[in-house]
Amino acid sequence: MSRRTGVWDRCEPIRPEFGRILWRRPCYNRLVRRGEAAMVGRSMLPVLVLVAGCGDMVEQSKGGARVPGCDDCETPLDGPDEGGGRVPVKPDTLTAGAWDDNLNFDYYRAYLAEMDAQQIAGLPRVPRDDRVLVLVRDSAGAPLPGADVEIRQENRELARGVTGAEGRLYFFPAWDGATPGATVDIEAQSDGAAVTLPFVVGSSDTAIVTIDAQAGLPAQLDIALVLDTTGSMDDEIRYLKAEFDAIVGAVQARYRGVSQKWALVAYRDEGDAYVVRTRDFTEAADFGDSLERQHASGGGDYPEALEQALSASSLLSWRGGNTARVVFHVADAPAHSDQAGAIVAAVRALREKGVHVYPVAASGTGDLAEYTFRTEAQITGGRYLFLTDDSGVGAEHKEPSIPCYFVTMLSGAMLRMLDTELTGQRHAPEPTEIIRTGGDPHNGACRLPDGRQVQIF
């Protein structure tokens, strides 16, 4: 999505009597020069009102010309910072909720069916009704992290992956090419020990493999930030820089015995100054320097090169062994509608490497983007995070298609996700962390109108 240096393109549709679709936008009145900006106020303005750097009429396609005085020059990941002159922002500003579709799989299947029935172009459809939860346990029955899992049918590989701290992997027989009713072999290996479990497709939604090994928690943590840097992400990128600086420090302090590496994948779209740029895994300080140099620009239309960014993240130098591997994918737009297959392929590659994706849906996220983000999380074993309006940052945030949730600071939500990745335990936010609730949750759960119960944790 595009917001040309100070011009918002996240727009509310308004329909004048003559029937053409115009747009109303939250608009920053700014005078922009290269390397400096002065923010002097925010208001809701009709598109025909001209204010410094804002007010151009937008129809259907939300692209447009640049603001005079800014030639949209670009910064490489290790280049000079062009973001000077802005008002400093503080961490612990952005707010978010979290949801686990695998924990509420029946509810998720109903959501998928409803979305699939709408025939929205670009949905990354994957047959998931037959999902099988593969649980790998040690000899004491504890979850076994870092186990290599391969699933075969008659010596033909169907799927592979690596368990995280919860000892889990998700197998989708139809998608992975298994024959209904056939017997597949689920082989798990850890520390030289290997066990093969014959499993009949369709006989159960859970397969438990026990290995004669002793579980140990991950000793390494690889975190990749996949970041949409198009114009519509401008405000949230500024706050994310502060948030991630604080999160990196908190992770380093909390898990001193864990070797930590950080990577960055920044992306825009075809026709922009760049499509995808990566900074492979490095130390926290180098990651922070690379992140600080990012700024928002470009985009032009609504979709972005999301599929290329996900594919690039799968090609990073993820460490092997007992490593917690995490992607935080922060974005507000889906891929182009002809890229659904490429998204599915990228998600498959991430699952194969044992990477858990945690999307963070920003303001401007629509139905297609939400479906895409939740697919990334559900298949890889991550969770869906979404920013909320409580921070007052950015444009309006989409109410997610879930029944209940807790709103906390984004930093707290992300740290809880990382804690699960490193300990295998799930923790509810402390009462003092909860800003508000969505829906009517009680004791970490809420009841649906049909009497069913869903779990937040």
CA distances from 454 to 104, 106, 405 (A): 6, 9, 10
**Out of 131-145, 338-352, 390-404, which region has the weakest mean confidence (pLDDT)?**
390-404
Determine what percent of the chain is predicted with pLDDT higher than 70: 80
Residue type, 54: C
Has residue 17 got a pLDDT over 50? no
* pLDDT given at position 242: 85
Has residue 6 got a pLDDT over 60? no
Determine what percent of the chain is predicted with pLDDT higher than 90: 66
Contact 40, 264 (CB under 8 A): no
Taking the CA atoms of 304, 63, 234 and 83 in sequence, report the sign of the dihedral they define. positive
What is residue 54's DSSP assignment? B
Model confidence band, residue 47 (pLDDT cutoffs 50, 70, 90): very low
Could you give the strand order of the β-sheet that contains 36-46, starting from the edge strand earlier in sequence?
Answer: 12-14, 22-33, 36-46
Q: Which of 224-228, 302-306, 449-453 has the highest mean pLDDT?
A: 224-228
Q: How many CA atoms lie within 13 A of 126 on its CB side?
A: 30
Buried b / exposed e along 154-174 (16+ C-beta atoms within 10 A): eeeebbbbbbbbbbbbbbbbe
The pair of structure tokens assigned to 106 is 């029946």
Q: Residues 103-130: what's their mean pLDDT?
A: 96
Model confidence band, residue 99 (pLDDT cutoffs 50, 70, 90): very high
Give per-residue pLDDT as tens, 381-403. 999 999 999 988 877 898 999 99
Q: Residues 20-48: what's their mean pLDDT?
A: 30
* pLDDT given at position 101: 98
* pLDDT given at position 1: 53
Rounded to the nearest integer, the mean pLDDT of the chain is 82
The pair of structure tokens assigned to 262 is 């950080």
User: How far apart are the C-alpha atoms of 115 and 373, rounded to whole Å?
Assistant: 14
Has residue 49 got a pLDDT over 80? no
Has residue 46 got a pLDDT over 60? no
* pLDDT given at position 90: 72
Residue type, 220: Q
Going from the N-terminus, what domains does the chain have, and what CATH number goes with each? 1-73 (no CATH), 95-124+218-455 (3.40.50.410), 132-210 (2.60.40.180)
Give per-residue pLDDT as tens, 152-183. 999 899 999 999 999 999 999 999 999 999 99
Give per-residue pLDDT as tens, 235-283. 788 888 888 888 888 888 888 889 999 999 999 999 999 999 999 999 9
* pLDDT given at position 149: 98
Has residue 24 got a pLDDT over 50? no
Residue type, 418: L
Q: Residues 54-72: what's their mean pLDDT?
A: 30
**Out of 114-123, 142-151, 298-307, 352-361, which region has the weakest mean confidence (pLDDT)?**
298-307
Q: Residues 330-351: what's their mean pLDDT?
A: 97
* pLDDT given at position 26: 34
Please give the residue that has the higher pLDDT: either 135 or 16: 135
**Locus of tokens 């139905």:** 367
Q: Residues 67-77: what's their mean pLDDT?
A: 39
Residues 6+ apart with CB under 8 A from 211: 136, 137, 138, 139, 144, 147, 188, 189, 190, 193, 194, 195
* pLDDT given at position 88: 58
Specify the DSSP element, H or E, that contains 348. Answer: helix 340-352
* pLDDT given at position 78: 42
Has residue 83 got a pLDDT over 50? no
Work out whether strand 156-162 and strand 148-153 pair parallel, antiparallel, or are unpaired: antiparallel
